[in-house]
Homo-oligomer: A and B are copies of this chain.
Amino acid sequence: MELKNIYPQFEPELLELLEEKGMHKTFAAGEVILRTGQYIKSTALILSGCIKIYRENEEGGEFLMYFLQAGQACAVSMICALQADTSEIMAKAEEETEVLLVPVELMESMMTKYRSWYQYVIQTYRSRFDEMLTVIDHIAFQNMDERLEFYLKRYSEQTGKKMLELSHQQMADDLNSSREVISRLLKKMEQQGRVKLHRNLVEVVK
């Protein structure tokens, strides 16, 4: 995929610079890209695929925060990279994912020189901030059934699929709940005709 098609808003000169200095890298599905406590030396622009951003607790639970897709960038990596600081979150490739790694040294001069980059960075911060707010709202104010509902909806929207290849255990992990609870709630949703359940597969009827 061409960089300029994914980031059409960037100036041609900026695109050239990114192509020249950026490093292409591909992660296999399931590969951990970024670990809590790891130092960050570059910002990742996603070219294709999907990255899961999550928070790990002591027992290894993977609490889902949000997904990143083509055209998006990791705000955390931007922030940390700029201070040569460590990450506080985990990132994992949901599917095979191609990224462009932009060295941190370039960031400041790009911010100053290219207005589209400046805009893009601000925009990225803004979206991630909103995403975090949404997460907070959901865990603070909603019950598990509403959260599951939202989870399935978002998953379906982001992947563009109505058939979600997820086990109950995976969903429970993402929502920091337990398999049994998710099973029960899904069963209820199935009885209401809102989903159809199969092995490792949830079909969103809507």
| A interface majority secondary structure | helix
8 Å CB contact of A139 from B83, B88, B136: B136
Given contacts A63-B140, A133-B55, A133-B88, is CB(A125)–CB(B126) below 8 Å? no
A129 in contact with B75 given A135-B136, A140-B176 (CB within 8 Å): yes
A: contact size bracket: 35 or more
Q: Determine whether the beta carbon of A130 is less than 8 Å from that of B88.
A: yes
Q: Which of A58, A75, A137 has the most CB of B within 10 A?
A: A137
A32 contacts B by Cβ under 8 Å: no
The answer to whether A125 and B89 have CB atoms under 8 Å apart is no
In the complex, are the beta carbons of A125 and B125 less than 8 A apart?
A: yes
Q: Which of B61, B80, B85, B132 contacts A132 (CB 8 A)?
A: B132
Nearest chain B CB to A40's CB is how many angstroms away?
12
